[in-house]
Amino acid sequence: MFKVSKEFSFDMAHLLDGHDGKCQNLHGHTYKLQVEIAGDLHQYGAKKAMVMDFSDLKAIVKKAILDPMDHAFIYDQTSERESKIAHLLQDLRSKTFGVPFRTTAEEMARFIFNRLKYEEKLPVSAIRLWETPTSFCEYGE
C-alpha cells in the first residue's frame, strides 16, 4: 500500500466561546492542511501506477473544503454568541461557515477527514491541520 499527500492553505477566522484565554476573541489563522490518501496503485488506464492523480485530489479538496471555508468566519452553531456574530456578518454579506461543534483545530481536522472520506468517498488515511506554523493536529485511521 502507498500513501500520498497533498498540502493546501486557506485563511479563516473564528473564536472559541467560553475559552479561558485570548482565543475567546475573534481572530484568524492561515491554516495548512495536509490530506493523506492511502491505497494500491491503479493497474491500468490513464491513472496507471498512481494511487490518485494529484490534480483530482486538488479538485475534490477545493470543492469540499477550500471553496466553502477559505476566507470565511467559521462558527459553532450551538453557541449563541458565535451565531450572533455570524448573523451580523451574513447581514453584511460576509462569508460564514457554520458547524455543530466548537471550532478547535482538533474538531476541524475530524470534520475535514469525515467530509472527505465519507461524503467525497476519498481513501483518506489521515488529515494534518496546522493552525499556526508550529502547531498542528492529526486525525485519521
Residue 71 falls in the annotated catalytic set: yes
How far apart are alpha carbons 63 and 77 in whole angstroms? 22
Distances (CA, A) of 114 to 75, 118, 123: 18, 5, 11
How far apart are alpha carbons 32 and 104 in whole angstroms? 14
Catalytic residue among 7, 71, 87, 138: 71
Residue 23 falls in the annotated catalytic set: yes
Domain ranges for the chain: 2-71+105-140
What CA dihedral angle connects 70, 72, 77 and 79, to 10 degrees? 120
Instruction: Answer yes or no: are the C-beta atoms of 75 and 16 closer than 8 Å.
Output: no
Per-residue pLDDT of the chain (141 residues; tens, 9 = 90+): 999 999 999 999 999 999 999 999 999 999 999 999 999 999 999 999 999 999 999 999 999 999 999 999 999 999 999 999 999 999 999 999 999 999 999 999 999 999 999 999 999 999 999 999 999 999 998
Residue 137 falls in the annotated catalytic set: no
Please report, in range form, the residues annotated as the binding site. Answer: 14, 27, 29
Please report, in range form, the residues annotated as the binding site for Zn(2+). Answer: 14, 27, 29
Catalytic residue among 23, 36, 106, 137: 23
How far apart are alpha carbons 77 and 103 in whole angstroms? 10
Pick the CATH number of 2-71+105-140 from 1.10.3720.10, 3.30.70.560, 3.30.2140.20, 3.30.479.10: 3.30.479.10
- pTM to 2 decimals? 0.95
Per-residue pLDDT at 141: 84
Q: Do β-strands 27-39 and 135-140 pair in parallel, antiparallel, or remain unpaired?
A: unpaired
